Amino acid sequence: MVLIMADELVKIDHMTKKYDENTIIEDLSLTIHEGEVVVIVGPSGCGKSTLLRCINGLEPIQGGSITFRGESIDGKSKHINEIRQRIGMVFQSYELFPHKTILQNITLAPIMVQKRKKGEVEKEAEELLSRVGLLEKKDSFPRQLSGGQKQRVAIVRALCMHPEVLLFDEVTAALDPEMVREVLEVLLSLAEQGRTMVIVTHEMSFAKAVADRVVFLDHGEIVEEGRPVDFFEHPKTERAQKFLNTFTYDKVEKAK
């Protein structure tokens, strides 16, 4: 084990991402350390989701580099499948496989990709399912589950691959308000276990609770980053202040 490398899990170095002529992310550098929970916030269209997709090699980048434990992340490279096994990703729209049962959804990749024993994987899947309170749904199909349940299954599916970092892309944005909590509680318990996570979210109070570090992204660049207390209580930049203000409302003064 190379000690210098061990700490830096994901390193984004002067990365640029363009769609045709539109620059989505420009010259962005960010390092995710082992055991760290990084929350990325910012207005819609600021490039948060694109950034996560780049970290998983789902989007080609036009400049700079992204590395995972020193290995380059490139969607076209031969090693990408091996790297992706070590990077878990959970999508906003769950993306469970509709033609597979819950258990099959979770065990498909570990059995097929990692060539693990079916019995062992199923045992682990059941254990993880019971931890998120969904063991009795193991033989159901995704369409029979609520949004919150589907998202918890998607998290379990990612976990069952034993990833070294987990990427969460607005995982509660498609959920009804009362289901948001059941999903966020799973994320909180993962944070307690010391998992390395990169979370894109619009849930500010959750961000404050779970983050070791908050990164504020606007127009494809990091405007501000720091500890959650500092960022949420005393944002330094005007853009961050303005952004945070959109989540608070002044008391309405009624005309008499």
Smallest distance from the beta carbon of 154 to other proteins, in angstroms? 8
Which amino acid would we find at residue 43? Answer: P
Residues that bind other proteins (CB under 8 A): 53, 56, 58, 81-82, 84-85, 87-89, 91, 93, 95-100, 108-109, 112-114, 141-143, 157-158, 161
> Minimum distance between the CB of residue 176 and other proteins, rounded to whole angstroms?
14
∠ CA 189-191-197, nearest 5°, is 130
Nearest distance from residue 57's CB to other proteins, in Å? Answer: 8
Angle (CA) 141-128-168 rounded to 5° is 80
CB of 75 to other proteins, least distance (A): 8
Query: Which helix (H) or strand (E) element contains residue 128?
Result: helix 118-131
In terms of CB distance, is 88 or 228 closer to other proteins? 88
Q: In what order do the strands lie in the sheet with 165-169?
A: 87-90, 165-169, 197-200, 37-41, 213-218, 221-226
Assign residue 59 a region: left if phi > 0, alpha if psi is -120 to 50, beta otherwise? Answer: beta
Q: Which is nearer to other proteins, 19 or 97 (CB)?
A: 97
We find the least distance from the C-beta atom of residue 142 to other proteins, in angstroms, to be: 7
Cα 108 from chain centre: 21
CB of 60 to other proteins, least distance (A): 13
Element counts in the chain: helices (H) and strands (E): 10, 10
Q: Which is nearer to other proteins, 26 or 95 (CB)?
A: 95
Nearest C-alpha neighbor of 39 from the set 174, 148, 168, 137: 168
* Closest to other proteins by CB, 82 or 176: 82
User: Closest CB to other proteins among 123 and 162?
Assistant: 162
Q: Which is nearer to other proteins, 175 or 222 (CB)?
A: 175
